[in-house]
Each structure stands twice: as structure tokens, then as C-alpha cells.
Structure 1
Amino acid sequence: MTMIPAAATTSFATHFRAGRQAQMVHALPEETAISMVYDGSAHAVMMASPADLEDFATGFTLTEGIIESADQISKIDLVAHDKGVEVQMWLEGDRGLQLAARRRTMAGPVGCGLCGIESLDQAVRELPDCSDVGAQFSVDEVTAATAALRDWQPLHDRTRAVHAAGFLLPGQGIVLAREDVGRHNALDKLIGALARQGIDAGAGAIVLTSRVSVEMVQKTAMARCGTLIAVSAPTAHALRLAAGAGLTLAAYARAEGFDLFSNPHRLSHEVADVA
């Protein structure tokens, strides 16, 4: 019987430094083909870390707009094959019929969040207005967010080769996180975990170990989360989307501070302008 692989494996390497060499053992993240299958029909294939796959499937299905709530998936089965893992989902009501009407196939490397999109309209889809999502944070909470996420990255600690997405609650810090070789996948896993646990994404902020690209803003808005905090920079298009969707976007978030790019109303207080 084929088993779902572990999230990491070990490998030997020869370490060359300062004219010397030695044998080293490294932990490497696994990267597995994951097929999303709805009502018996394959829809998308992505390379991802083979962990938290129910969360991944739920989050992906939500952020793609296939469902509106986690309970519209009636069942999830994981079926391992020699070449990857099928995540088999059964949809409630007419969701399957609606999906068949907009069927498309996505196949591509882990770094691509828009592989297989068939039209520009799909790539720049209209996002829900998140202006009324009201969770607020102090400047100190935003400043500390990415450092706090480090404590939730055991796979990164082993491999130094994966991204994380965390959920920050006001007054509580990071309360949930997911990791994956792909930043898009990590975010989908987090959104799926929130939905499956009945946690309102609008009650907190999403914290990323990556840059902010268009699809990261799209997924955050589709989850109805009003604040996005990232360790690296946004693209110009991602910033325009975030501003238009009412998202508070804080980037370059490190221990020394952050840059606030849009919708500052979710910061509970300001600091002095030292420029």
C-alpha cells in the first residue's frame, strides 16, 4: 500500500569549507504532486509539502471560490499513489455543477500561483470588499509578528527551505500556522485550517514569511481577512489590489519595525513621525 510521504527526509552531502571536507546530514523538505479532485474529476495539480493536506484542500477550494464555507465539502479522502497524492473531495448541493461550468486545469511548479489561468479576467478577478473587517492591532503587535512566527516553523528549522503563513490575533499573538515549500500553499493551508476549526479569519491578521504578490492578496481577501503582514515587499499590483479591497498591508515587517502601505485604520494607535 502506497503511503503519503513525510514532510521531510534526510540526505547526505559532502561539506567543503576552508580547504577541508566532511560528510554532513541534511534534512530536506519533500515536494509531492498533489491532485485536487472534485466529485471524481481532477481539477488542479500542484507541487506541495505532503502535510496538512485536508487544510490545503479546504483552503485552496475556498480561495478559488469553488465553495463559500468549509461545510460545503461533504467528505475528503487522501489517496496516495507512486507519483503523488490525490485529495478527493465531494461537494454539497450544486457546487459540483458550478465547478464543471468553469472547469480549468492548473499544472506547474510550486513557485507559480496562477498556473493554467485561461483568461486575464481570471487572473485579476474581482475581490470582496474587506473594509468592514474590524480587527485592530497595535504597532508593537505588527512589529513583533514575523519574529513570533519563527516559533511556529519546525519544518523550516529542520530544512531551511520552506515558507510559513501564520494567524495573528489581537492580544494573543500567533495562534496557528502552516508550512509548505510553496508560499501560496502555506497560505491555503492556513486558510483551510482556520475554516475547518471554525475560526473567523476576519478576527485577526495573516502573517507571511514571503513577499506579497497578487495571488497572496487575492487569497487573503477571499478569506475575508483584513490585515496582511509580510517580511518582504509587495509588488505594485498587489498593493493596488490590497488598497482596493480594503486590506491593511504591512510589509518589510522585521524586529525593528515595518512599512504600512494601505488602510491604516486597523492600527489602534500611531507612533511619532521621525522622518
Structure 2
Amino acid sequence: MDNESKAILQTALAVRVSHPHATALEVLDLAMTDRNRSDPDFSDASTPAGDHTDPASPFGRLLRDAFAPEITDAELTERGGPSGESAFWVRWHQRVMEPFAERYRLWSAETDDDRWTTLVSAQVLKRWPHLAATDSEEIARRLALLPEWRSVAAEAAADAYVRQSEERNATNREHGAFQLALHIEGATPDDLARGVAAAQAVFDDTGVTPAKAARALFNRDGWDVRGFPEEAQPTEAEMQAAAVWEDAEFAATSACCAGWATVPVSAHLELRWRWE
């Protein structure tokens, strides 16, 4: 998160406490004074969700109150639940983030290429926190080369690309957006393939997709790092999905390293982008 974004965040949250009778929109207007047409980066790895515009964060709740007060606290906490997560994020973007960006003319498509690419990469990671950072950076670089994407503001470009990819992932796992990758030092390609197959079998048996499990693991571990704050506590569904990822990783390493004396401590399963 850059200094400008920190200033916006600190001002908004401080004013909300010091002026409880001010409307959420009045608080934002004050915090955004002289910051129109800027490109704030609200991502923050130290937060449970990795971004201060996350619906469950204090700033996210301020945005909700300003632009979409009809979204309930329960919806913010659940983020749509296990069956409606994707639909919730579409709604959050359309009802909250788009009006926020339009009111203050943020994340302009007219920004320079390097900044646009950085913003898109950050926005992709906000939606897919389980994705390898190198993959999000490559996605942004590839989009920047396509005029139909580069002409769109970074926030909107990232959102549209994520939505299209998730639709593809939901309809065709074989050619979906993500693929599992296993990293174990000393393993042969056949060993790794056997491990990935074992992991996929766990996901298939439970009905939890690798992407959903990885996101849940990220949220759960972030909650741990933050000291288990009540407002960021994962849902029961997220806790179960995180456990599925751990089960899949154990199955993968066990299958890959069958017969080995020891398993390298660096062994891990990850989700990678499937390049078309």
C-alpha cells in the first residue's frame, strides 16, 4: 500500500470515529479531497484479506455504507457463502467499487503502462489471493498488450478478466483457469504427476475446487497472523475448505514420496495459472 492510500485510509477511519454523525459519503469526500484521478493501491499483505477494500475490512464497510447500504453485515462477513461467492464479488464490484472509482475518478485507463500493469496485477491478486504473484504479474503484462483491455481502467479490466476466467473454470475443469502444481525437491516428473493426481482426487471427493480451498486457506492463515480478530474470523465453510487443501497437500506429498526415507520440508502444493 502506497503513502497516498495510507493517508486516505487513516483519514477516513479517523473521521468516521471523530464525527459519528457524518454520513459515510461525507467521510469519503473528506478523505478523498485533492485525490481525484489518483491510483490508490489499497492492497496490504498484513490484513486478513490482503486488501483494505475487502468487504469485511473497516474501510470496506465504509465503502458499503456509502454506496450500497442494502448489503447486510452478514453478507459482508460471508462474502456470498460457498455457493454464491462469485456472484457476491460481481455485486460488490458493480454496487460499491465502480461507484467509488467513478465518484473520485480513480484507477484511470489513462495512467502510464507500468502503473496500469501494477494496478491490474494487484487487483487480480485481490480477487485471487491464492494465485502466485508471478502469475498475476504475467496476466497483467499480457492484458497490457491487448488494446481492448488496455483501454479499460485497471480495476474494471481486472474484474472483467477474473469473471471471464472463473466462468471458464466453472464450466470446464480440464481446460479451466487453474492447475495444480507440486514442488518437491528430487521428485521425478512421474512422481509429481502421481502426487498431483492424488491431490485432485481429494478435491473431487469433497466437491471443493482447488481455487476455493486455496482462497479459504489464505483467509484462515491471514486470520491467524492477525491474532484471530473476531471481525475477520473465517466462516465454517472456509475453515472446512482450508482443511481440504491441507488434506490434498498431504495426499500429494504422500503419493509422490511413497517409499522415501524423508519428505523435504520445502514440499508444497500450489495453484498456478493455466496459460492458454
TM-score with structure 2 length normalisation? 0.26
Normalised by the size of structure 1, how large is the TM-score? 0.26
More strand by share: 1
* Structure with higher helix content: 2
